[in-house]
Chains A and B, each alone.
Chain A
Amino acid sequence: MMRVVLVFAMLMMLWPLAAQAENPLEIDLAKNTVDITTGFTGADVVVFGVKNGRGDIAIVLEGPRKAVTVRRKENVFGAWINRSWINYDDMPLYYDYAIGSLDDTAYKKVGIGVEAIEFKAGKKGEHNIDEHKLFKSALIDEKVQLAFYSVTPTLIEFLDGGFFKVLFHLPANVPKGDYVMRAYLIEKGKVTFTAEKMLYVGQVGFNAKVLSFSYNERMLYALLCIAIAFAAGWVSNKLARRS
């Protein structure tokens, strides 16, 4: 029953897209924000789309880009201390993707997949190519472990008439910021069309208020923390005296 309702809702949503039928590929998000509230434990991002043109498709959900430093611990007199490091500029903090067919290699050729992410090494210590590869794979491993990168793409579910639906799961500690959902139409090893939608992941409600208060009124925020602490300390002392 649920499934039927879902498909129906989807068809209704995509009706205008299908009716126009100008673009070979269209996508839309069920919701273009991911709201992080106090009880946030992760969220699903649902993308709907319709493929009118010929070829294969891939959908990529890419997180905000930031500089990332990878450090390596080395043994110094018995203790393990961070020594060598590489900075990677402009790294996506999140990367998940879905593909239309099982053959992953064809997608890599057109720049889709974790393996295809460009690692722009910025400032770094002295490293040769092999060392660089170690740092790169360590970064990917950590992101995969955090469920921020996915090395095994989801297979796109096709429904009738070129309609499809893809679900991406964001973990509880997902990086905040602007995400891009990008759909690619690939034909004969070349990207022939792309469509994209923005997705914003951020705190809302009480949490968002606390965060913006802590940035905008830093002094007041600090004093509030101290006031809470003072009050709690005083209450604790009163309780102790009574018992």
Chain B
Amino acid sequence: MQIYLPIAEMSVTAESIFFLSAFVGFLSGIFGVGGGFMTTPFLIFLGIPPSIAVGTQASQLVASSTTGVLGHFRSGNVDVKMGLVMLFGGISGSFVGIGIFKLLQFWGQIDFAVSVLYIVLLGSIGVLMLVESVSKFFIKSSPVRKEFNKKKVSPFVHKLPYKMRFPRSKLYISALLPGGIGFIGGVLASVLGIGGGFILVPAMIYFLGMPILLVAGTSLFQIIFTAATATILHATLNHTVDIILAFILIAGGVVGAQLGLVFARFVKGNHARVVLAILILVVCFRLCADLFIPPENVYSTVVAL
């Protein structure tokens, strides 16, 4: 079914977008990842302009992280205070990100920047995940106690000013750290349309020393509001949030996530992670190919607004 998007002002095939988002939702149901990092490149492959893809994806992020965080709230695995401090950084990061986005658009380098950032992010995450999950097949690790984080935090981290107490995480650290991590998340949300959970989660574990149990819920909690801020900024300043496209993406995501959750009962975590890692690397290779293989047409045109 062809559907005309009112803001993007273009005609798209609704099914292809629905199936795409259902597929990503399916993955997020299985793996518990947001999946924004796959939707944006896929939308761009389908011919949606990068600016619309990123802006609209930000609103879809609100939906997927809301779903995720509710479960974590129910089990009490959200450090709200930590989340709020991160959010402070996240919102300022969104503003900076929008500025960067506009500047790149003006220079005509937004496509290039988005591809390169994705290649770097997906490439490193994919490789790390693959190495970790494959090695787990061979090395039986000792059971981890999720209540505590035994990772050694660098002494430099403890010298930073503005120390704050985070009772839920049992931490006494500088507010600059969670704020800084949130800031990076905010920039990623507005430039790439992703929640950046796969960056935030390791950063919270290794730099903040947060209990692993609280990390996922807390990062999702702040992603909701960071993504909401990015949506508002994209809609008001760039005018790149298409509500119809968002609706299809969200609907597909909801349906896909349900299927994914059902399916998740039958798959082993580690096998699933290998598949996800390979999938991430495939997207990464595809983006690399677009960048390095000589294009058929080196010219592109843009109509001024």
Contact = CB atoms under 8 A, between A and B. Distances in A.
Which one of B262, B295, B299 has the highest number of Cβ atoms from chain A below 10 Å of its Cβ? B299
A71 B292 contact: no
Contacts of A138: 297, 299, 301
Interface residues of A, number: 61
Interface stretch (B137-145, B156-164, B172-180, B236-244): B236-244
A139 B63 contact: no
B228 A226 contact: yes
Interface in B225-283: 228, 231-232, 234-236, 239, 241, 243-244, 246-247, 250-251, 253-254, 257-258, 261-262
Which one of B11, B232, B253, B291 has the highest number of Cβ atoms from chain A below 10 Å of its Cβ? B11
A173 B256 CA distance: 29
A82 B246 CA distance: 29
B299 A80 contact: no
A178 to B, nearest CB: 15
Given A214-B239, A235-B254, A172 B11 contact: yes
A192 interface: no
Given A214-B235, A219-B236, A228 B108 contact: no
Interface stretch (A16-24, A32-40, A111-119): A32-40
B299 A139 contact: yes
B301 A69 contact: yes
Contacts of B60: 229
Interface string A52-70: 0000000000000011111
Nearest to B10: A173
Contacts of A229: 59-63, 66, 228, 231, 246, 250
A207 to B, nearest CB: 4
Contact of B67 (A72, A211, A240): A240
A70 B63 contact: no
A38 B3 contact: yes
Contacts of A172: 2, 4, 10-11
Interface string B54-71: 000001111111110011
Overall SS of chain B's interface: helix
Contacts of B231: 222, 225-226, 229
A71 B295 CA distance: 13
Contacts of A228: 59, 63, 243, 246-247, 250
Interface in A196-230: 203, 207-208, 210-211, 214-215, 218-219, 221-226, 228-230
Contacts of A214: 6-7, 235, 239, 241, 243
A108 interface: no
B71 A40 contact: no
Interface of A: 36-41, 66-75, 78-82, 85, 93, 134-135, 138-139, 141-143, 172-173, 175-176, 203, 207-208, 210-211, 214-215, 218-219, 221-226, 228-230, 232-237, 239-240, 243
Q: Which 9 A-B pairs have the closest CB atoms?
A: A233-B66, A138-B299, A222-B235, A229-B62, A172-B11, A229-B63, A67-B304, A233-B63, A210-B6
26 contacts: A39-B4, A40-B2, A40-B4, A41-B2, A68-B302, A72-B299, A80-B295, A139-B299, A142-B297, A203-B6, A210-B244, A218-B235, A222-B234, A222-B241, A225-B59, A225-B231, A226-B62, A228-B63, A228-B250, A233-B66, A234-B67, A235-B254, A237-B66, A237-B67, A237-B71, A240-B29
